[in-house]
Structure 1
Amino acid sequence: MVKDLLEMVSQFIFYLGIVFTLLFLYKVFYIFVAFKARRDHSQEEKEVPLHKYAFLIPARNEELVIGQLIQSIKNQNYPRELYDIYVCADNCTDQTAEIARQAGAIVTERFNKEVVGKGYALNHLLNIIKRDYSSESYDGYFVFDADNLLDENYIQEMNKTFNQGYRVTTSYRNSKNYDENWITSGYALWFLYEAEFLNRPRMYLKTSCAVSGTGFLIHSDVIKENGGWVHHLLTEDIEFTVAQIIKGEKIGYCGKAVFYDEQPSIFSESWKQRLRWAKGFYQVFMRYGKDLMNGIIRGKGNRVSCFDMMMTLAPIIIVSFLSLVGNIVVLLLALLEGEGLFNEYVFRGAGGILSIYVFLFFFGLITTTMEWNKIRCSNWKKIFYMFTFPLFMFTYLPISLVALFKKIEWKPIQHTVVKSIDDLR
């Protein structure tokens, strides 16, 4: 009977692996496209019109880092009269508002304990601009978190992509604290992979890229059409992305526009943050999954983008979890049954777990190799963190499972890495 159960579990894992491979094979294709896109990227620089922008920065108890962000924005190689900096000190109990004002930002304070989250702070800022600064005419709005830092050419590069006609554009996300530990490097390596091996090939293939958290530019017309910032699920960035793609919008990517952000270094903080992300993905999937499916079936120019986002949202992490658990069950059953089944099933189960590790290691290896010179970290740590990257990704499995059943509310992540853009150079 144990042998029959082992065979049944093994078959389940096998067919699950086939489905998983077929659905995500296109992301391996993206890697090859990314290499070609990088080779073809060098183009003759042309002068483009300069536009006026506003920076929107929601901040909750960010007195340690808000000043460095504002300074990096003020130091841009872009005419200072063509951009303004707005900060929403959202339910703050520290000196965030005062420090932001002293640094040169236009600051508004918001106190509302009933509706909390980044989306509400963004909409508050947009309402304040509309009410009190209506004389200012902004062509677009940058969205940043308080812990970010901008490369000095950030606006200049984003303005070029803006002039290509993209009404939403995301950028290259690097890390302030890649070298801190296996958790911070795990985050950072994923964001680098997302930028160069997901968004770059999407841009090259003229499908839609995806906004990820922070560091993006929105045309003022999009804000007007949406009636402000109307996305308030736990992952407002993914909700915004999906909603725009369903409408037929193509989100652009600017790899030359570089910014840095801080990653959680304590596992409990990381668990809390990624639990919110996982729950938010489920929320977006439940709300927009039907529309994405309609886009895949009936869409004209955005079928690929709808499929891509469906594969991003679909709870594939649960499929991975089932596969991993299945392999562990095979291992345990084979060990309990005795030596007779050991060779046949233990190696099969161990091979399944190892194959998942190798699959994730491959993505970490490719990303680390290609972005080697951009990673702020010693060489031996770069190599070491390639091996810990799959372990970091494995931790998403229990997080995603807990997120299915646990009620989760938005909570801020404390930022403590105080660096300037000069420190990162």
Structure 2
Amino acid sequence: MSILGTIADGIFIALQVLIGVTSAYLATLAFFGLRHKKEVPASPPQKSFAVIVAAHNEEEVIEPLIDNLKKMDYPSELYDIYVICDNCTDNTAQIVRNAGAIACERFDDSRRGKGYAIEWMLDRLWEQEKQYDAVVMFDADNLVATDFLRHMNEKLLKGDRVIQGYLDTKNPYDSWIAISYAISYYFTNRMWQLPRFNLGLANALGGTGICIDTPLLKEMGWGAHSLTEDVEFTARCVERGIYPTWAHDAIVYDEKPNTLKASWNQRMRWMQGHFDCASRFLIPLLAKSIKTRNWAMLDAALYLFQPMRLLIILLITIILYLQLVMPEWWAVTDIQEILFPTEFWTVVSILIYGQLPLAMILEKANWRAYLGLVMYPIFLITWFPITVIAFFTKNNKTWSHTVHSRGIRVEELSR
């Protein structure tokens, strides 16, 4: 083997080790999600909330959400509902007023996107006479469990400052795309978020169902303007030593796309934003975690690394395939053949992939959700081209709106 070949092989081995170590770490951590102690709010309502909803042309779905929020199991004098009617050209604002919420109309084509809209709303909240203990954020297409604010009240009284609620799917059985999102949520909630909560690590904010302590927001400022404002704010919090926590029993139902095209566009935005945030926060967070020997920061850095990890997995797969079909041209070292026998890797694969149905069982998924496992591999495969394209277009900051049309009410939901 030539010198260049040796160097290339060394890099390939290093990449395999990196993926192997991170995969083993994630698979091991997931098992700490097997245990869930149900949290029942016991404290009387004390904290006040500004409930803000970001909405852009959401006349089809906004009224059921407001109706839902007005019926929360929480004293009405302790929370107000503000809807950011962001560059709306439909009847969203009028529907909001008719439904009994506060419509805050914003028109600014130069600063488009949810992150800018939230910052605009917060600036106005800080200026008004009435202040709140915390801010809760939802998307216009959401529905919310009626005890959500009680859970947030409980967490805040315990000293938590940034809280993420459980993300469920509002329309899981509308299409194979929607059920694929639902399956992903079952896994993420149980095998990613809950383990980190149980271990005292930082949880990842998910874009909606978020509660943030007002003094912290005023201290930090919102400052999250990327396509994934949730990832950005998570990274900023962890950098400051503030670890978002998890409320597994505070449920938010999120509407998911029904077509591959709509899903593709949404996930493209997610990946572009994630790459953008990783380019700014990954190295500083990783360096700080090593310097301070901080596990939570290291784990958060790994979260930022996830899109790059997916790219490396794709690269390794392509190279190993080329070696298989053109062995005389591709002579690289496959560490799976060197370190452990095939049987070992078979067991590891079963443990990793078995976590998906296990998460569904633990989360008591409806039997119809299991039918979605047939098409779910196709959904997973689509992540590869999305991630590749997003990597090369990560500097795109143009917000793309996901159309919502499922105006169902919380009473109609079925898990």
Q: How would you bin the TM-score normalised by the shorter chain?
A: 0.7 to 0.9
The 3 A distance-change label for structure 1 pair 69 and 309 is: same
Determine whether 1:141 maps to 2:135.
yes
Determine whether 1:368 maps to 2:376.
no
CA deviation after TM superposition for structure 1 residue 223, in Å: 1.1
Given that 1:357 and 1:390 are in contact with CA atoms closer than 8 Å, whether structure 2 keeps it comes out as no
Give, in whole Å, the separation in 1 of the partners of 2:328 and 2:90: 57
Match of 1:413 in 2: 402
Match of 1:267 in 2: 260
| Residue number among 291, 294, 312 corresponding to 1:298 in the alignment | 291
Given that 2:148 and 2:250 are in contact with CA atoms closer than 8 Å, whether structure 1 keeps it comes out as yes
The 3 A distance-change label for structure 1 pair 363 and 35 is: closer
Structure 1 stretches lacking a partner, 5+ long: 338-344, 346-350
| Residue number among 64, 68, 73 corresponding to 1:68 in the alignment | 64
CA deviation after TM superposition for structure 1 residue 124, in Å: 1.3
Give, in whole Å, the separation in 1 of the partners of 2:185 and 2:360: 11
Post-superposition Cα deviations, 1:114-155, rounded to whole Å, max 9, x if no partner, equal 110101110111122223xx2212000001100000011111
Aligned counterparts, 1:19-418, within 5 A: 19-36=18-35, 38=36, 41-42=37-38, 46-131=42-127, 134-227=128-221, 229-299=222-292, 303-314=294-305, 315-333=308-326, 361-373=353-365, 375=366, 379=367, 381-406=368-393, 408=396, 409-418=398-407
Paired letter, 1:196 = R
Paired letter, 1:23 = T
Give, in whole Å, the separation in 1 of the partners of 2:52 and 2:317: 42
CA deviation after TM superposition for structure 1 residue 232, in Å: 0.5
Please state whether the residue corresponding to 2:59 is helix, strand or coil. coil
Determine whether 1:422 maps to 2:411.
yes
Structure 2 stretches lacking a partner, 5+ long: 331-336, 338-342
Given that 2:191 and 2:355 are in contact with CA atoms closer than 8 Å, whether structure 1 keeps it comes out as no
Match of 1:348 in 2: none
Q: TM-score, normalised by structure 2?
A: 0.87
Give, in whole Å, the separation in 2 of the partners of 1:14 and 1:385: 36
Given that 2:72 and 2:149 are in contact with CA atoms closer than 8 Å, whether structure 1 keeps it comes out as yes
Given that 2:62 and 2:96 are in contact with CA atoms closer than 8 Å, whether structure 1 keeps it comes out as yes
Given that 2:175 and 2:259 are in contact with CA atoms closer than 8 Å, whether structure 1 keeps it comes out as no
Match of 1:342 in 2: none
Paired letter, 1:403 = A
Given that 1:364 and 1:386 are in contact with CA atoms closer than 8 Å, whether structure 2 keeps it comes out as no
Post-superposition Cα deviations, 1:364-407, rounded to whole Å, max 9, x if no partner, equal 2122111124x4xxx2x322222432321221111111112225
CA deviation after TM superposition for structure 1 residue 163, in Å: 1.4
CA deviation after TM superposition for structure 1 residue 276, in Å: 1.2
Paired letter, 1:165 = G
Give, in whole Å, the separation in 2 of the partners of 1:122 and 1:358: 43
The 3 A distance-change label for structure 1 pair 230 and 177 is: same
The 3 A distance-change label for structure 1 pair 383 and 105 is: same
Number of matched pairs: 395
Give, in whole Å, the separation in 2 of the partners of 1:150 and 1:130: 25
Post-superposition Cα deviations, 1:93-126, rounded to whole Å, max 9, x if no partner, equal 1111111111111111111111101011101111
The 3 A distance-change label for structure 1 pair 212 and 44 is: closer
Please state whether the residue corresponding to 2:53 is helix, strand or coil. strand
Give, in whole Å, the separation in 2 of the partners of 1:13 and 1:192: 33
Q: TM-score, normalised by structure 1?
A: 0.85
Please state whether the residue corresponding to 1:56 is helix, strand or coil. strand
Give, in whole Å, the separation in 2 of the partners of 1:356 and 1:207: 24
Given that 1:361 and 1:387 are in contact with CA atoms closer than 8 Å, whether structure 2 keeps it comes out as no
CA deviation after TM superposition for structure 1 residue 64, in Å: 0.3
Give, in whole Å, the separation in 1 of the partners of 2:350 and 2:268: 25
Moved more, 192-201 or 50-59: 192-201
Give, in whole Å, the separation in 1 of the partners of 2:7 and 2:103: 62
Post-superposition Cα deviations, 1:233-276, rounded to whole Å, max 9, x if no partner, equal 11110000010001000211111101101111111111111111
